[in-house]
Structure 1
Amino acid sequence: MPMPQEYFNASRDFDAFMADAKASLGHGSHHQTYTTVDAVLIVFRRRLSARDGLRFASALPPVLRAIFVANWDPEEARSTFGTRADLEAEAKAIRPDHNFSPDGAIAIVASVLWRHVDREDFERMLAALPDEARDYWA
């Protein structure tokens, strides 16, 4: 079986995602960008069952998929979604000494993510998740 193109192009596609996210977030480095993207993914992941988390991960490009599941303890108690302000504050609180997430980071990362996923697959996956999970990426 030939290697899937998504794996063959994973580094190139991740670099394109990071460059887009860096510009959209107004960050000066890829380190700042990575911390913001990781925080947005962690905040979302904390609210999903393992089943829904794996469903979500399957719709991500390979490197983002790996970041999403890295260090995940699916036995950890799930959080509720709450308000967007609460979710933003939680994202900013992840690695606070190294986190430069701007206000609106979740919406910014969501916008960038939509430009780097297969829209039909992503929409189909989101349709299978709870309403609050869909709203997170709106």
Structure 2
Amino acid sequence: MPMPQTYFHASRDFDAFIKDVRDTCMLQTHHQAYHTLRAVLHTFRSHLTVRDALRFSDILPAVTRAIFLENWEPLEPPAPFPDRPVLIMEMKSVRQDHNLAPDSAIEDVAAALRRSSIDTKDLERVLAILPEGATEFWKS
């Protein structure tokens, strides 16, 4: 079996994706875009069970998947998805002193994710089996 393209082109694809996140969020640097992406992904992950998070991670490109799963300690059952203002507050609390994410970051990252190498049909299929609120989280 040949090496999957998602691994072969991982750096190139992630570089294009993080530039899209930077531009869509109107951030200044790749570092700001990375931390914004990380905050959005970890906020989403915090409302999923391990099984659901792994289902979601399976559809992500390689580097984005690694960021989604990094430093995860799933010890307690996740809380249900709250409303958008609470999600924004949660997202902004990730690395709070270094977080420059705009209020629109969840929608911005969702739009960039849909434009990247993710298969939109796979995204919709997985979101349909995740808890209530997951689909709404990724609306752009």
- Please, what TM-score do these two structures have when normalized by structure 1? 0.96
1:19-98 mapped onto 2 (5 Å cutoff):
19-98=19-98
Worse overlay, 60-69 or 126-135: 126-135
Q: CA–CA distance in 2 between the matches of 1:92 and 1:131? A: 22
Paired AA for residue 121 in structure 1: D
- Which of structure 1's runs of 4+ aligned residues deviate more than 4 A? none
Is residue 126 of structure 1 aligned with residue 127 of structure 2?
yes
Q: CA–CA distance in 2 between the matches of 1:87 and 1:118? A: 25
For 1:14, the equivalent position in structure 2 comes to: 14
Q: CA–CA distance in 2 between the matches of 1:76 and 1:17? A: 32
Q: CA–CA distance in 2 between the matches of 1:128 and 1:59? A: 13
Give 1:74 deviation, angstroms.
2.1
Q: CA–CA distance in 1 between the matches of 2:86 and 2:68? A: 20
For 1:136, the equivalent position in structure 2 comes to: 137
Give 1:93 deviation, angstroms.
1.1
Paired AA for residue 74 in structure 2: P
Q: CA–CA distance in 2 between the matches of 1:14 and 1:60? A: 11
Worse overlay, 66-75 or 14-23: 66-75
> What is the CA deviation profile of residues 26-70 of structure 1, one whole-angstrom value per residue up to 9, with x for unaligned ones?
111111111111000111101000000000000101100010011
> What is the CA deviation profile of residues 108-138 of structure 1, one whole-angstrom value per residue up to 9, with x for unaligned ones?
1111111111111111111111231111001
Q: Aligned-residue CA RMSD in angstroms?
A: 1.0
Q: CA–CA distance in 1 between the matches of 2:42 and 2:2? A: 33
Query: Tell me, what secondary structure is at the counterpart of 1:35?
Result: helix
Give 1:104 deviation, angstroms.
1.4
Cα contact 2:20–2:112 (8 A) shared by 1: yes
Q: CA–CA distance in 2 between the matches of 1:97 and 1:16? A: 27
Q: Any gaps of 5 or more consecutive residues in structure 1?
A: none
Q: Any gaps of 5 or more consecutive residues in structure 2?
A: none
